[in-house]
Amino acid sequence: MHDTLLLFGATGDLAQRYLFPSLLHLLRDRLLPPTFRVVAVGRTGLDDADFGQWLRERLDDGDGRDADVLDDLLARTRYLSLDLNDPEAMRTALSQYADRPSVSYLSTPPDLFVPACRGLKAAGLLEGQSRLVLEKPIGRDLASACAINATLGSALDESRIFRIDHYLGKAPVQNLLALRFGNTLMEAVWQHRWIASVDILVAETAGVDGREGYYANYGALRDMVQNHMLQLLALVAMEPPSELSANTVRDEKTKVLRALRPMTARDVAIDSVRGRYDTGVVEGEAVNGFTHDSDVETFVALRAYIDNWRWAGVPFRLVTGKRMPSRTTEVVVSFKPVSHWVFERPDRERARPNRLRMRLQPEETIELGLMGSLAAPEWGATELQPMSLDLSMSPTPARRIAHERLLVDALKGDQTLFVRDDEVEAAWGWIDSVSSAWQEAATPVHNYPAGSWGPAAASDFLPVTLSTRGQRKQGGKQTGKPAA
């Protein structure tokens, strides 16, 4: 395990909310080498003492439980103020840390990846067994992603490049692989003959406050679908790998992304909805709308198709949005009806199909919806009613921050939960087809009140979960909602 971490973007939001807390926890649990050190790099002009005080104010929870560990982390940390667009300044300031293999972590905007990589190369920090970690998104389209990947490839080989999608560090997301490949029941029915549709929902109560400039350049399609949602889709749809190693898993995910049917201008009128939140109420508090001067979307609903043998004709509905009524991430697999219905009550049209609901956050639940007669009167045993087989853990176990797992893997050199270059480019290829189709078709952005489940036009895209009686529209208005 490498013992030197160079953290770029050290005064940014991600570093203070997730990366430094992760390092604190890992150090407390003795999961880092005894000689571990951090070189924090930011744009703000601070010295070591100023940065230490700034970081202490953000990490000290006031109860004193981790006071000694925090002191230890600060003692191991040095701060440098650097312009990442100046390779010579980076070489001068950072070459002293090239004495042993290191991990450089770019928690920066994508437009800094290329100059930062050149500066690290000049400082000798990408040589030998040193590694480079980058926070997604990698670019904002296929062309920019290819340019970044080309620069990275000229500086170090792919086996030492770690592209982070923090969703892959979440234990419930990793459990998708366990459910799929560890159970005969799933193996037998995981294909188009038995599955009618797959829904993937990522709903957030937060808005884009403080990130308006970034979001105006990316939007929900590039920010959420390209990153997290396509990773979830790939894990649900991939073929069984021969082993759980980095390259075999990523090979199968890439095949899925390459098999996504490109969107056309004709498709997007039927298979997509764009939205943008307006003023409203979220969790009892009034919030403002997204008012940046752009036509970018904060909500997107897509119907995707994977053109391969396993998933031919099965719609994958992807829905994500800001300022939703509740924060939830879930995958719902709806199975086809039984081939021959023999019961009078309910009739075939009212029978509820089997559904597997895997909720990833905030609580971890796995529910299987069945039809049975246990709830019916004993003299009417052939009257079927919906039943739920609840496989959730209660209470949900305490989980580590996803970045804790990913930081340890990067320091150890395990790439299984990271994204490869061809995987990134395959995802961007499909995203570009959607974006181009929107532009060609002049797809509108519908306003929706904050605290709702998006535009009324998107109601047919929302998942019907086990605790929901479905999405119903009356007079064109949405009346149902996903389970909270």
Bond into 377 cis (ω within 30): no
What's the chain's Rg over C-alpha atoms?
24
**Nearest to residue 365, comparing CAs of 188, 483, 474?**
483
- First-last CA distance in the chain: 41
- Tokens 């570093």, residue located: 15
Strands 272-278, 445-449: pairing is parallel
Q: Which of 166, 228, 403, 446 is catalytic?
A: 228
Phi and psi angles of residue 66, each rounded to the nearest 5 degrees, phi first: -110, 25
Cα angle value 9/12/14 (rounded, 5°): 100
CB atoms near residue 478 (< 10 Å): 20
340 belongs to the catalytic site? no
**Nearest to residue 317, comparing CAs of 454, 445, 178, 177?**
454
On the CB side of 404, CA atoms within 13 Å amount to 17
**Nearest to residue 470, comparing CAs of 373, 369, 362, 365?**
369
Three-state SS string across 110-165, please? HHHHHHHHHHHHHCCCCCCCCEEEEECCCCCCHHHHHHHHHHHHHHCCHHHEEEEC
Which positions are annotated as active-site residues? 228
